[in-house]
Chains A and B, each alone.
Chain A
Amino acid sequence: MNALEKLRSIYRDREAEARAIKAGGGKVVGYFSNNVPVELIAAAGLFPVCLTGDPGEATEIGDRYMEEFHDGNIRSIFDRMLRGHYNFADLIVVPRTSESFLQLYYYLLEARKWEPARHFPELYLFDLLQAPNWTVGRYDRDRLNELRRTLDRVAGRATSDDAIRAAIAATNENRALFGAVNKLRRGDRPSVSGTDMLRIAGAAGFTATANHTALLHDIQKDSGALEPLDGRRVMVKGSPHDDDGFYALVESCGAIIVADDHVAGERAFEHRIADGGDPMEALTEHYHRHSPSPRSYPQAEQDRRFLDLVGEARVGGVIFFHDEWDDVLGWDYPGQKKLLDARGVKSLFLKKQSYRSPDRAAQRDAVRGFVESLA
């Protein structure tokens, strides 16, 4: 199995490594999204694993307690939690960087009362705020310090600053290599598909950073052997994706996804954490100001980055993909479309897309027509 195949396998069997570590006597900390400082978890000697939902699973318990408008991934995670699916974790960190995850936290607290026979791990609300000002930054620094103390309790020992510096260095090395591999889909003749880049990005949350970095290194080292890929250059933007179904569909329609702009894609690897100095300040600065989330503010700055990426990746068309119950990204769409129109970049808007039962035929028709229009 080559490095790419290994990363695909990690992406498929997401919890395998965490479960193996737990079975071997290690401790595991689950978390959601890219807004939790995994560097602190790793520095504490704990194994961080990103937890996701599964669009293919039924959500009978979730349906009992959650209104229909909860995001599909949140409903799936809630259901999995109550079914004990995540019981391999010693602690689960829920970030406050979206209203959906905050609601998940409160619904789970309440569910403990309604379903006392069902057991799931201790929850920790990581109250990271992202308004870009000094007061919020100080609040975040205190929250990171509090998280550090909680992780020390779970680990049973105090984490040193040097261990945190080492974890930051490992993250930065990983991001640098991710950036190098990401360039393979950006060139004139891309040699890594967007679908594989989504898998590679996702796999970073399911395996140890050192392992992920080693696999990225192997891909880069052997990149000369990769076959060039053909397709119209598109970007996928909007809601995050818990599986690769939509990406694969887009790339089966004659496109190649040379860039993406959502919290589960390349954006999470964009920024390096400052090294040297106080590592807690560096982590605070990074997660407060540079960790993309639905609450990143101001949106005008996010739109500038989006346009830069469109230019840098020489995107021919942008596919906006918004979740079924989106009440956030839709506010940005008219302005973003206007910006693209002004630059002569075409776009396709797929709104209200179901997490659980996506209409693949309709998606395929829309994407195929759009890709053909890019000729």
Chain B
Amino acid sequence: MTKPKTEERLISTQRANEHQREWFLDFRRRVMENGEPYVISGAVAPHEIFHAMEIPVLTTQWYSAIIAAKQLSPYYFDLMDRMGWHDGLPRYGSLPYMTTVDNNPERAPYGGLPKPMMLVDRVRGDFGQRISEQWAHAFGVPDFIVDCSSSTRLLDNWHQRAQHDWEELYETHRLDFQVAQLKDLIRAAETLSGRDFDHAEFTRQMHRVNEAGEVVAEVRDLIAAAHPCPVPLTEQLNNVMAATWSRGSQWAINHLSFYRDEVKARIDKGVGASPNERYRLLWLNNGLWFNTGFYRAFEQSHGAVFVWSMYTDFFSDGYRKYFTDDPLRALAARHISMNEQLHLPPWMADWIIHQARGFGAHGAVMLVPEADRMSAYGTRFARLALEKAGIPVLELNASIVDARRWDNQRMTALVADFIENRL
């Protein structure tokens, strides 16, 4: 067998990063120079409503990850400490709010966030509404809360039923309620922006999200079957997440198609992310946004490659919702149980086990976020379920965004020991 060739950065990755940069520059031009309205929103909220109205959406979690990647989180967390918010409070969703509290555009990434038209959040936990209420108050704009109904039962195989069988999966009374809330949101957005909600464009975008999700599924299957893994996890994330934030656009479909073709070409040439792949690992739970290099730290030393994470595949399994005549109900289905799918036993574990088998994973490293328990619920049951299924799991307790708390040496040693002794 010939030694696999090592990879260079994908062109699609460069394009994805470029797209994000351009998106933000365009966003600032439209908002700052032209005075167009925009919305600050949590990730698990119906951005599609605003996309159909050509109102830019700034995703809190995306900006949070940018702050962390620019190594600015220590500054803002020190600010939180000084302001009296104790260090046990959730950090992931609060970083962007701190840039407003700080009110220093020179320091904030891309010059900080200007005054939005409104804030929107789907309040799954109990603290998100507190942050958005204070933040909206600081800006002097409305805070639109999408309340969060809860599943009364969690049926098996959500990841196989979520695309077509969502009426049964998510419960009719919950979907009715979510549709009513979406209509409220549309009216609020129309009133505040002075723009109309374009039904036809919305329907087209909803179809395009499904189409883009199909390409993500295609790439996932290609990567799962390929040995060695052709694309490092960091690049998988860059490409899929850029498309996720621009979902519903033709750009997302074109970009993902180009990405798929590049991946295919690599597989055909036998190119691998790591020249000596021996172990395939899953990265579970949230990303390590301030240190994405960690995903690749074990390729040279141990031949261990991270091949999958929940965010490389969620566009495919979680976002796609096929519909015939009611795109708004399909949109309701998209966000109604995102947290349950990512963080609740048994849905979290069922999906991961399915993926682990598809990817031929030898083990999994699971980030258990500190001071952010909304992202850490379900990890114990998930670990037990994976290990029962024969997949060893290493739990890393760490903050998702607070670089001050990360002990790289210790974490590296833990993963190295896991690879050497448990796989």
Chain A positions within 8 Å of B, measured between CB atoms, are 65-67, 69, 96, 98-99, 102-103, 105-107, 109-110, 113-114, 125, 127, 129-131, 133, 135-136, 138-139, 142, 294-295, 297-300, 325-328, 330-335, 337, 351-352
The reply to whether A125 and B152 contact each other, CB–CB distance below 8 Å, is: yes
Closest to B94 in A: A331
B129 interface residue (CB < 8 Å to A): yes
The reply to whether A67 and B380 contact each other, CB–CB distance below 8 Å, is: yes
Set A125, A138, A295: member contacting B126, Cβ < 8 A: A295
The reply to whether A351 and B133 contact each other, CB–CB distance below 8 Å, is: no
The reply to whether A299 and B90 contact each other, CB–CB distance below 8 Å, is: no
The reply to whether A299 and B130 contact each other, CB–CB distance below 8 Å, is: yes
B398 interface residue (CB < 8 Å to A): no
- Taken together as a complex, chains A and B put the C-alpha atoms of A53 and B328 apart, in Å, by 42
- Taken together as a complex, chains A and B put the C-alpha atoms of A131 and B345 apart, in Å, by 26
Could you list 22 examples of A-B contacts with CB < 8 Å? Answer: A67-B376, A67-B377, A98-B126, A99-B124, A99-B125, A106-B344, A106-B345, A107-B381, A127-B149, A139-B149, A139-B177, A297-B145, A298-B133, A299-B129, A299-B134, A327-B89, A327-B127, A328-B127, A330-B85, A331-B131, A333-B86, A334-B83
B22: min CB distance to chain A, Å: 35
List the 9 closest pairs (A to B, CB-CB), nearest first. Answer: A334-B84, A331-B130, A131-B147, A110-B345, A129-B147, A294-B126, A328-B126, A69-B373, A139-B177
Closest to B372 in A: A327
Q: A131-B129, A139-B149, A142-B173 are in contact. List 12 more A-B contacts (CB 8 A).
A: A67-B380, A69-B373, A99-B124, A110-B381, A125-B152, A127-B149, A129-B148, A295-B123, A298-B143, A299-B129, A331-B134, A334-B85
The reply to whether A103 and B377 contact each other, CB–CB distance below 8 Å, is: yes
Set A65, A106, A337: member contacting B154, Cβ < 8 A: A106
Do A327 and B373 contact each other (CB < 8 Å), given the known contacts A135-B180, A138-B180? yes
- Taken together as a complex, chains A and B put the C-alpha atoms of A242 and B368 apart, in Å, by 28
B90: min CB distance to chain A, Å: 5
B374 interface residue (CB < 8 Å to A): yes
A366: min CB distance to chain B, Å: 15
- Taken together as a complex, chains A and B put the C-alpha atoms of A109 and B368 apart, in Å, by 22
A123: min CB distance to chain B, Å: 10
The reply to whether A135 and B384 contact each other, CB–CB distance below 8 Å, is: no
The reply to whether B145 and A67 contact each other, CB–CB distance below 8 Å, is: no
B116 interface residue (CB < 8 Å to A): no
The reply to whether A351 and B381 contact each other, CB–CB distance below 8 Å, is: no
The reply to whether B154 and A135 contact each other, CB–CB distance below 8 Å, is: no
- Taken together as a complex, chains A and B put the C-alpha atoms of A352 and B89 apart, in Å, by 11
B186: min CB distance to chain A, Å: 12
The reply to whether A125 and B150 contact each other, CB–CB distance below 8 Å, is: yes
B-side contacts of A352, CB under 8 Å:
86, 88
- Taken together as a complex, chains A and B put the C-alpha atoms of A109 and B347 apart, in Å, by 12
B379 interface residue (CB < 8 Å to A): yes
B181 interface residue (CB < 8 Å to A): yes
The reply to whether B89 and A330 contact each other, CB–CB distance below 8 Å, is: yes
A218: min CB distance to chain B, Å: 38
The reply to whether A110 and B88 contact each other, CB–CB distance below 8 Å, is: no
A-side contacts of B134, CB under 8 Å:
299, 331, 335
A-side contacts of B147, CB under 8 Å:
129-131, 136, 139
A27: min CB distance to chain B, Å: 22
The reply to whether A337 and B150 contact each other, CB–CB distance below 8 Å, is: no
The reply to whether A326 and B88 contact each other, CB–CB distance below 8 Å, is: yes
Residues facing A in B354-408 (CB within 8 A) are 368, 371-374, 376-377, 379-381, 384
B184 interface residue (CB < 8 Å to A): yes
B407: min CB distance to chain A, Å: 19
- Taken together as a complex, chains A and B put the C-alpha atoms of A66 and B153 apart, in Å, by 20
A-side contacts of B180, CB under 8 Å:
135, 138-139
- Taken together as a complex, chains A and B put the C-alpha atoms of A292 and B127 apart, in Å, by 15
- Taken together as a complex, chains A and B put the C-alpha atoms of A85 and B324 apart, in Å, by 49
B-side contacts of A130, CB under 8 Å:
147
B-side contacts of A109, CB under 8 Å:
153-154
